[in-house]
Chains A and B, each alone.
Chain A
Amino acid sequence: MAFDYDKYLRPGKLPHIWCPGCGHGIVMKGMIRAIDTLGLKKENTAIVSGIGCASRLPGYMDCCTLHTAHGRAAAFATGVKMARPEMTVLLVGGDGDGTAIGGNHFIHACRRNIDMTYIIMNNNIYGMTGGQFSPCTPTGAKASTTPYGNPDPAFDVAKLAIGAGATFVARGTAYHANQIDKLITEAIQHKGFSVVEILDDCPTTYGRRNKFKSVIEMMNRLKDIAVPVKAAEKMTPEQLQGKVLTGILYKEDKPEYCEQYAKVIERAQGGAK
């Protein structure tokens, strides 16, 4: 049976602003399927975003949504979660929003291990503001501010999240559309800060400058570079050169922030003796 996305979309908001072939729409569909799989109630689900192409997503979703300052999605979402711990809080954003402008908020939200799910759509560039290079732009790639090639090495968002203390880290791609909802479902179910990095394509500002002839070529690149974690175990380091691992990369159980904070309140009020 065809999936009915309309019941989770705000009526009259489509067509969305994303460019032809942009993978953000595919990620949004995955997110809707995950919300549906878990049976989350609209009034009990908060979707928080910063600024950017990917951050336009909450505007289309018929849930509790919050469109905040650039890079500050994690800060606002922490407030939402602390005030209403029973809510499911999802954060969405791009690589520039999450790892550059919101880099500090991102790592500290990871460290705190507050029960939220951060979906980072990594399209290797700042799309909305005009194609400036982001911390996730690969070395040598061209952007509007690096016309002769980017000299900086790129962030590995998943490793950054693991290093900062996130307790669930997964990676998918916009090509592997079927996998997106499964990863997001597991991330939401995990108690603690979950990061799902989705490798995405930006045909308008990244593809055009980096000699990708079409959206299809960009999608096929995602297919070629992705290696599932289990398959990677049997591969040599030479074979893994230039590849990225997909699937659930890291998972552990640690005390969750809201619960820890509730204990602090209890102690302060003289409850625990």
Chain B
Amino acid sequence: MEKKLPTIEIIEKYCKGCHICVEFCPTKVLEMQGFVAAVKNLEACIKCMQCELRCPDFAIKVKP
């Protein structure tokens, strides 16, 4: 059965590049691309929502 991947929306206008989402993601889905966060490895996402919960800038929206 094919795994249903979540969608991780990063609003680049809001992201201030604090690294919180990148560091606290337990499966290293996110990375920094320049000054903003970006999705690197969506397959690894376990939908724990830590990035959305911890983002201080309302910049990440995860739709599981």
Interface string of A1-41 (1 = CB under 8 A from B): 11101000100001110111111111001000000000000
Q: A20 to B21, alpha carbons, bound, how many Å?
A: 12
Rounded to whole Å, the gap between the CB of B10 and the closest CB of chain A is: 13
B20 and A219 form a contact (CB under 8 A): yes
Q: How many A-B residue pairs have CB under 8 A?
A: 58
**A60–chain B nearest beta-carbon distance, Å:** 9
Interface size class of B (residues with CB under 8 A): 20 to 34
Chain A proximity of B13: nearest CB distance (Å): 6
Given contacts A2-B49, A2-B62, A3-B52, contact A21 B20 (CB under 8 A): yes
Q: For B19, what are the chain A residues with a Cβ–Cβ distance below 8 Å?
A: 21, 214-216
Q: B61 to chain A: which residues have CB within 8 Å? A: 2
Known: A2-B52, A2-B62, A2-B64. A215 touches B57 (CB 8 A): no
Count residues of chain A with CB under 8 A from any CB of chain B.
25
**A225 proximal to B (CB < 8 A):** no
Chain A residues whose C-beta falls within 8 Å of the C-beta of B24 in the assembled complex: 219
Contacts of B64 in A (CB 8 A): 1-2
User: Which residues B16-55 have CB closer than 8 A to chain A?
Assistant: 16-20, 23-24, 49, 52-55
User: Does the CB pair A216–B58 fall under 8 Å?
Assistant: no
* B18: chain A residues within 8 A (beta carbon): 20-21, 203, 215
Binding site for B on A (CB under 8 A): 1-3, 5, 9, 14-16, 18-26, 29, 177-178, 203, 214-216, 219
